[in-house]
């Protein structure tokens, strides 16, 4: 029975993207030729929205323009077939509902723009939601991620993976694989991130940041749900992926 190929990546964080990691992913996609290309979320950082941009704050506006440009560039290069909204991306959707005045109108326009761009490249959109935000490819479930602690990979596998299945998640920025306690077995994978870790200054005081690594996940799955997943990561200056 034939296998279909997939690649999953995430957490490029807009203009905080690591350009060399993105170039390596682009090359890998061209060589591997996956049928399914899953962006795990946080294509944009939207740090200005987190701070609460107000009218007349030019630096925040410039950050948003730069963030949009880099995020859309990443999407145009990788052309995902599936886009899972991450918690950073979700800031725009939240302000479109809860914001006030010009900020709310900007966010509404931003939501429309994001949907237009994703439709243009043929990507299916999944919201940042613990039920509706899960994409399933046979026995492989893909989520952005909803907790960020030492046990998150195992927790997500226990919650989202079916017996004998696997969950692939973003959000954590670290590379990790865990077996979950479940009848029939279940596995969880966190594939790293595509952001320039040195630029993520808001997390520089967190010791967990020391575990962050650039990377992505890829694999194969057949109609029975039988699957295999591999990790792409950088060793020294060389990207390793079989």
Q: Please state, in angstroms and rounded to a whole number, the distance separating the CA atoms of residues 58 and 12.
A: 24
* Statement: the pTM of the whole predicted model exceeds 0.85: yes
CB 4 within 8 A of CB 35: yes
Nearest-angstrom CA–CA distance, 192 and 174:
4
pLDDT attached to residue 207 = 78
Contact 12, 192 (CB under 8 A): no
Residue 181 sits in a domain of what CATH number? 3.60.21.10
DSSP β-bridge partners for residue 195: 17
Residue with tokens 């907790």: 147
Distance CA 61, CA 55 (A): 9
Mean pLDDT taken over the chain: 92
| Of 51, 44, 47, nearest in space to 14 by CA | 44
Which residues have C-beta within 8 Å of that of residue 200, sequence separation ≥ 6?
13, 16, 209, 212
Instruction: Please report the pLDDT score of residue 167 as a whole number.
Output: 98
- Cβ–Cβ under 8 Å, residues 226 and 204: no
pLDDT exceeds 80 at position 204:
no
For the chain, what percent of residues have pLDDT higher than 70? 94
| Separation between Cα atoms, residue 214 and residue 197, nearest integer Å | 8
Torsion of CA 92, 10, 17, 175, to 10 degrees: 130
Q: Are strands 140-143 and 165-169 parallel, antiparallel or unpaired?
A: parallel
Question: Among 30, 32, 35, 235, which Cα is nearest to 138's?
Answer: 35
- Expressed as residue numbers, the domain containing 109 is 3-240
- Please report which confidence band the pLDDT of residue 115 belongs to, taking 50, 70 and 90 as the band edges: very high
Number of domains comprising the chain: 1
- Can you tell me the distance from the alpha carbon of 21 to that of 15, in angstroms, rounded to the nearest whole number? 13
């Amino acid at each position: 029975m034939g296998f279909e190929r997939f690649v999953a990546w995430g957490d490029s964080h807009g203009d905080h993207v690591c350009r060399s990691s993105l170039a390596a992913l682009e090359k890998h996609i061209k060589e591997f030729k996956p049928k399914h290309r899953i962006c795990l979320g946080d294509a944009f950082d939207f740090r200005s929205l987190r701070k609460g941009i107000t009218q007349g704050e030019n630096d925040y506006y410039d950050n948003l323009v730069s963030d949009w440009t880099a995020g859309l560039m990443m999407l145009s290069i990788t052309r995902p077939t599936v886009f899972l909204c991450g918690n950073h991306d979700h800031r725009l959707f939240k302000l479109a509902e809860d914001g006030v005045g010009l900020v709310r109108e900007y966010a509404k326009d931003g939501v429309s723009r994001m949907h237009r761009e994703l439709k243009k490249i043929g990507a299916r959109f999944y919201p940042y939601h613990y039920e509706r935000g899960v994409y399933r490819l046979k026995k492989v479930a893909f989520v952005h991620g909803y907790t960020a602690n030492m046990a998150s990979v195992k927790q997500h596998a226990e919650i989202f993976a079916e017996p004998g299945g696997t969950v692939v998640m973003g959000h954590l920025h670290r590379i990790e694989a865990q077996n979950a306690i479940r009848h029939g077995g279940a596995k969880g994978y966190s594939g790293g991130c595509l952001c320039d870790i040195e630029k993520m200054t808001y997390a520089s005081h967190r010791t967990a940041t020391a575990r962050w690594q650039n990377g992505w996940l890829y694999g194969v799955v057949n109609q029975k749900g039988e699957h295999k997943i591999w990790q792409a990561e950088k060793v020294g200056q060389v990207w390793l992926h079989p």
